Amino acid sequence: MDDIDKRIINTLQDGFPICDAPYRQVAEQLGLTENDLIARLQALLNNGTLTRFGPLYNAEQMGGALTLAAIKAPAEHFDEIADIVNSFPEVAHNYARNHELSMWFVIATETQEQAQQTIDAIEHQTGQTVYNMPKKKEYFVNLKLEA
């Protein structure tokens, strides 16, 4: 990642314009061509520097529910449990952790009741207790890279 990539990441964290040509507008702001900006973003995604590029929605402000959950998934059944958990469309993403609670995932639903129903169904299908850790307070951590 070079200084231009760092500037791209820093700039895009402050927002993405809503207009007819948002990539062109950001590229001009950075002194790049639109094609160069798009190519650099694709390269950052391809090499794993960025895992995702897209909007971040606040489910709660939209009337939905979002919760962090975890399971103690035994190593010998981890992949099987991950397949079950990931089969739920309500599971936004899932991470392996080096911890007693070895599988962490985010559940996003339209209501709190649906989140609990999803947790209940995951417990039923996996035979594991799901530890529900709903957000009590939101903190915004902004990553800025030194260029």
DSSP 48: T
Q: Is residue 146 part of a domain?
A: no
Are 122 and 79 within one domain?
yes
Full residue range of the structural domain in which residue 31 is found: 3-46
- Based on the domain organization, do 21 and 81 belong to the same domain? no
DSSP 55-82: ----TTTTT-EEEEEEE---GGGHHHHH
Q: Report the alpha-carbon distance of residue 124 to residue 50 in Å, rounded.
A: 35
Contacts of residue 69, defined as CB under 8 A and 6 or more positions apart, other chains included, come to 104, 105, 106, 107, 119, 122, 130, 131, 132, 133
pLDDT, averaged across the chain: 91
**pTM for the structure as a whole:** 0.64
CATH number at residue 99: 3.30.70.3460
| Predicted local distance difference test score (pLDDT) of residue 27 | 98
81 within domain boundaries: yes
Is position 57 within any domain?
Answer: no
User: What's the rounded Cα separation, in Å, for the pair 17 and 30?
Assistant: 14
Structural domain count, the chain? 2
pLDDT band at 15 (very low <50, low <70, confident <90, very high): confident
Q: Domain containing 9 — which CATH number?
A: 1.10.10
- Residues 80, 128, single domain; the answer is yes
